């Protein structure tokens, strides 16, 4: 390991707990010691002579922490950056990650199949996955095809969702999130668009609203929803992977940027990518004729290079999006049209759900705020998942 410099320090770090036996498991010390007194002679049984294979302390293999050398002060989020033997490592970007195995590509275009060093994957964290597509990592080569990831650099942005009380990071280090919805089949869900917009903003990225399959409906019917998000300041685009409509505009929005395509299964994310860059040959499937829901085609997030400049990540379809690390008090801040009215509410801690004198509710009645967006707000505040 490299010597410690002025910007490095030792720090005690928590690790995930082992799944070992708890202390005093199947221990019969109390029963074995019954009847033994201090008057017993040396030849008799004494308490201190009883066999004991386990510690009685609560500190066993369930309590885990280690002292590691970290770089001090390079991540404003407080995430630790483990110091590694940098001269023997190479930098690369994660193209895809499945379990403990990842495909890492270097700046020169070489790809390696890498595992994750144990110290990296077992550090205690809110996120359930240590490495995701888009991560910048340092890895050590084992041979011409394989390597070991020694460190994950701090993420400048993420797209995440909540999953069983943990953060599920879908992708990292992107500039913009392209929220792909279909005009029909599956049905368009504005409330799901709103959740993706919040997740994008929370993760530090821009949001683009893309409505695909425009050839299956009269485009006039889509103007209200496109106009709504356009007036709120979000870039919108109407596309058809079948006819090629809107593909040129979408290609211009992606040029030179790090982007991620996200949305429900069956909305045509992979088909759009194939239209944007012929030759990618991303696999596609039709929507189920029985459930009218999309079938999972993309099984994992995959980062691909665009020939006209930039990167894009194709992600598995999402039917429900639980917001991560968003408390009720901050939800109103993600609805930009609420902002002119929030300060005018009767109560300073107004939740805009049931209070009298709420100017946000009055703005909804006056059609200054759309009922569609307000209902999305109410669902989020009540803790309902999309699709319930």
- For residues 232 and 286, membership in a common domain is answered with yes
The pLDDT-based confidence of 59 (bands split at 50, 70, 90) is very low
- For residues 184 and 308, membership in a common domain is answered with yes
pLDDT in the model for residue 7 = 57
> Quick check: is 21 in a domain?
no
Domain count for the chain, please give it.
3
- For residues 254 and 117, membership in a common domain is answered with no
| pLDDT tens by residue, 333-348 | 999 999 999 999 999 9
pLDDT in the model for residue 17 = 53
- For residues 150 and 167, membership in a common domain is answered with no
> Quick check: is 30 in a domain?
no
Average pLDDT score over the chain? 79
- For residues 345 and 255, membership in a common domain is answered with no
The boundaries of the domain holding residue 375 are: 328-381
pLDDT in the model for residue 282 = 54
pLDDT in the model for residue 39 = 52
Q: CA 92, CA 151: separation in Å to the nearest integer?
A: 11
The pLDDT-based confidence of 281 (bands split at 50, 70, 90) is low
Q: Is the pLDDT of residue 328 over 60?
A: yes
- For residues 302 and 207, membership in a common domain is answered with yes
Q: CA 96, CA 170: separation in Å to the nearest integer?
A: 11
Distances, alpha carbon 341 to alpha carbons 108, 334, 375, in Å: 52, 14, 17
pLDDT in the model for residue 32 = 56
Q: Average of pLDDT values for 33-59?
A: 53
Q: Looking at the DSSP assignment, which residues form a beta bridge with residue 101?
A: 98, 115
Q: Average of pLDDT values for 231-257?
A: 94
Q: Is the pLDDT of residue 193 over 70?
A: yes
Q: Is the pLDDT of residue 22 over 80?
A: no
DSSP 110-174: -EEEEEE-HHHHTB--SBS-S--TT-EEEEEESSSSEEEEEEEPPPS-EEEEEETTEEEEEEES-
The pLDDT-based confidence of 57 (bands split at 50, 70, 90) is very low
pLDDT in the model for residue 295 = 45
- For residues 272 and 296, membership in a common domain is answered with yes
320 vs 306 pLDDT, higher one: 306
> Quick check: is 3 in a domain?
no
DSSP 259-304: EEEEE-TTS-HHHHHHHHSTT------PPPTTT--------S-EEE
Domain with residue 280: its CATH number is 3.40.50.300
- For residues 192 and 305, membership in a common domain is answered with yes
Q: Average of pLDDT values for 294-302?
A: 59
Quick one: what percent of the chain has pLDDT higher than 70?
A: 70
384 vs 386 pLDDT, higher one: 384
| pTM, 2 dp | 0.76
Q: Is the pLDDT of residue 280 over 80?
A: no
The pLDDT-based confidence of 27 (bands split at 50, 70, 90) is low
pLDDT in the model for residue 78 = 45
Domain with residue 119: its CATH number is 2.40.50.140
| pLDDT tens by residue, 143-160 | 989 999 988 898 999 999
102 vs 127 pLDDT, higher one: 102
Quick one: what percent of the chain has pLDDT higher than 90?
A: 51
79 vs 348 pLDDT, higher one: 348
The pLDDT-based confidence of 100 (bands split at 50, 70, 90) is confident
Q: Record the tokens describing residue 54, joined without a space.
A: 């386990």
pLDDT in the model for residue 388 = 43
pLDDT in the model for residue 52 = 53
- For residues 188 and 310, membership in a common domain is answered with yes
Q: Average of pLDDT values for 105-126?
A: 82
User: Considering Cα of 144, then 147, then 150, then 152, what sign does the dihedral take?
Assistant: positive
Most confident of 68-77, 83-92, 130-139: 130-139
The pLDDT-based confidence of 12 (bands split at 50, 70, 90) is very low
Look at residues 154, 185, 201 and tell me which one is the last residue of a structural domain: 154
Q: Which residues contact 288 (CB under 8 A, 6 or more apart)?
A: 266, 294, 295
Q: Is the pLDDT of residue 244 over 50?
A: yes
Beta carbons of 150 and 138 less than 8 angstroms apart: yes
387 vs 107 pLDDT, higher one: 107
Look at residues 121, 154, 187 and tell me which one is the last residue of a structural domain: 154
Q: For tokens 């860059």, what's the residue?
A: 277
């Amino acid at each position: 390991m490299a010597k410690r410099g002025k910007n490095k320090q030792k720090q005690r770090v928590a690790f995930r707990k082992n799944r070992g036996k708890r202390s005093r498991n199947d221990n019969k010390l109390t029963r074995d010691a019954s009847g033994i007194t201090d008057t017993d002679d040396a030849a008799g049984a004494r308490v201190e002579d009883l066999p004991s294979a386990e510690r009685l302390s609560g500190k066993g293999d369930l309590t885990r922490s280690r002292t590691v050398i970290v770089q001090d002060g390079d991540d404003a989020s407080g995430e630790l950056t483990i110091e590694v033997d940098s001269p023997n490592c190479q930098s690369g970007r994660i193209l895809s990650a499945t379990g403990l195995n990842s495909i890492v590509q270097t700046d020169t275009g070489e790809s390696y199949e890498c595992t994750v060093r144990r110290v990296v994957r077992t550090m205690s964290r809110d996120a359930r996955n240590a490495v995701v597509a888009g991560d910048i990592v340092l890895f050590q080569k084992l041979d011409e095809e394989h390597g070991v990831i020694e460190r994950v650099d701090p993420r400048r942005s993420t797209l995440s969702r909540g999953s069983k009380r943990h953060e599920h990071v879908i992708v990292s280090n992107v500039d913009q999130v392209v929220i792909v919805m279909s005009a029909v089949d599956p049905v368009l869900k504005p409330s799901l668009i709103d959740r993706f917009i919040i997740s994008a903003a929370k993760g530090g990225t821009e949001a683009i609203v893309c409505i695909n399959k425009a050839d299956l409906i009269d485009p006039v019917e889509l103007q209200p929803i496109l106009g709504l998000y356009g007036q709120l300041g979000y870039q919108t685009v109407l596309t058809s992977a079948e006819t090629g409509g809107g593909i040129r505009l979408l290609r211009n929005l992606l040029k030179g940027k790090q982007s991620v395509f996200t949305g429900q299964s069956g909305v045509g994310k992979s088909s759009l990518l194939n239209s944007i860059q012929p030759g990618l040959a991303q696999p596609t499937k039709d929507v189920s004729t029985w459930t009218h829901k999309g079938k999972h085609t993309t099984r994992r997030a995959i980062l691909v290079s665009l020939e006209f400049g930039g990167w894009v990540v194709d992600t598995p379809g999402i039917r429900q999006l639980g917001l991560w690390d968003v408390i009720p008090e901050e939800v109103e801040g993600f609805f930009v049209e609420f902002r002119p009215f929030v300060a005018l509410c009767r109560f300073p801690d107004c939740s805009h759900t049931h209070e009298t004198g709420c100017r946000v509710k009055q703005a909804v009645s006056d059609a200054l705020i759309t009922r569609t967006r307000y209902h999305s707000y109410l669902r989020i505040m009540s803790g309902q998942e999309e699709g319930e």
